[in-house]
Chain A
Amino acid sequence: MGLKERLLQLGEYTGEPCITLLSDSELCAENCRSIKACDENLVVLCMKGQDVRVVGTSLTLENFGAYGVKITGSIHSLTIERHGDQ
């Protein structure tokens, strides 16, 4: 049984995306499924039903909790692209 299944059993993982912009240099994204693209100027996170594009400079990535990703650096813009089929 994987981590996701175990968390689902415990009720700790809902799968619903949650994005929190703490400041212009810190963003927290919960329930992130995967990372589509990542470099120091662009991070694309794949979440349920949407992609989150974070554009900035000196972007670094770290994870917290289960499926939680924190992006730090100078964030210039945040774009949410909804998937057409959901």
Chain B
Amino acid sequence: MRGLTLGFVEFSGIGGFQESFVSELLDNGVKLKNVKISGGRITGAVSPLSYRLAAVTAKKHGIKLRAGKRGGLYFAALRYSRRAGLYVGLMLFFLILSLGKSTVADIRITGDAPKAQIISILEECGITRGAARNGLKLSLAEQKIMLEANNVAWVDVSCVGCRVLVDVHSGTPAPEIFDPTKPCNIVASRDAAVISSNVRKGKLITEVGSGVQKGGLLVSGTVSDGGGNLLYLHADGEIIGEFTDTEDFFVPYREIVKIANGEKTEYKYLVFCDDIYPLFFGEAYVEDSLYSEQTEKIKLFGAETPFRLITGTFTKYSDVDVTRSDDDCIYELKRLKADFEENFFSEYEIVSAIEKCLPEKEGIRLVVEYTLRGDIAQKQPIEVDLSASLPTDDVMRQSP
């Protein structure tokens, strides 16, 4: 019966003051359903929890009340309340649940680190499947992974429910650095005109003002000691060169752009402490969509509860046909140019940038001729053939 969530008891009564009986029940906040009075007979339904009060009130008003059909959750629970097996099963369920939550059931490793090595480190720290959750040395495991695993930049070991999550991220590989003890030359990294130089070690070969091709020798690591002997040095210094670069940008008048403004699908999760409970069935994934997440605290009568609600929203991408005017194209080209300069020319000084706008049938093309200044020095190791410096008789002795 709608409105009586716990269940219902249908009643019928005869005689007495039926209107005052209904009024008193109304005054006491008793929920009544389908009350009908006809021919001196009152019928209706109340919640099983309110039936006793209804019966007492009926007696007070001189009504002979009889309970009729009954049903709902209350009576279903009452029917099973004497079944001991249910209690045992319930206790077992909670026991298994608590046992399951008190031990580690699964170890999940994410990131780009060698998994075998991480697992062996975790085992050393006592983090294995079946280990008790209370005694987990998560901080120790994090420290050990940082120290022992190869090239690890960031690690997080946490225990969520009965699962240990290990998130390991490798560091960016270090750039190749020449051994400062090994001899090397400095060559040009690109075609340029040399503007200035600052040589700390080695001999400057190219004069300031002269042009140099890519790979051309700028500073030599092979110098003479003045006594007829050659010394091989690790050449070091900065050579500032000026060079040109032409870049081409194009923005069409019409273009199909993917914009996340389509259908929204929300997935909600309930969070209690470290545990996350999905409030949906199936997998939370929508293809070709943008994902965003929002977390809010759950409040009860204005007070904060330990529960949080995460709402993950997938917004479908839709294809939007964009039509641009000339001004829009120019604005977009300027933006592309600015982004390009920030991404690729941030380490150079832009001396000049000559822009040429070329209107085409499909859109507008922007050709920019850059004149740039920057360090063009590139170290190149000197391959020294030591056998060539050996005395002739030694070489003879080695040969068969």
Give chain A's interface residues, CB within 8 Å of chain B.
2-4, 32-40, 46, 59-64, 66-67, 69
Contacts and interface: CB of A to CB of B under 8 A. Distances in A.
A7 to B, nearest CB: 9
A15 to B, nearest CB: 13
Contact of A61 (B3, B20, B27, B32): B32
Question: Which residue among B23, B30, B44 has the maximum number of chain A CB atoms within 10 Å of its CB?
Answer: B23
Nearest to A32: B26
Interface of B: prevailing SS: mixed
A40 B32 CA distance: 16
Contacts of A63: 25-26, 30-32
A34 B32 contact: no
B26 A62 contact: no
A22 to B, nearest CB: 16
Contact of A67 (B3, B26, B35): B26
B29 interface: yes
B20 A34 contact: yes
Given A3-B27, A3-B28, 18 more contacts: A2-B28, A33-B23, A35-B19, A35-B22, A35-B26, A38-B37, A40-B37, A46-B23, A59-B36, A61-B22, A61-B32, A61-B44, A62-B33, A62-B34, A63-B30, A64-B3, A66-B29, A69-B26
A61 B21 CA distance: 13
A37 B19 contact: yes
A40 B42 CA distance: 10
Contacts of B19: 34-38
Contacts of B38: 39-40
A62 B18 contact: no
Contact of A60 (B23, B25, B31, B34): B34
Nearest to B38: A40
B110 to A, nearest CB: 50
A81 B2 CA distance: 33
Nearest to B4: A62
B22 A38 contact: yes
Question: Which residue among A33, A59, A62, A69 has the maximum number of chain B CB atoms within 10 Å of its CB?
Answer: A62
Given A3-B27, A4-B27, A38 B35 contact: yes
Contacts of A34: 19-20, 23, 26-27
A37 B26 CA distance: 14
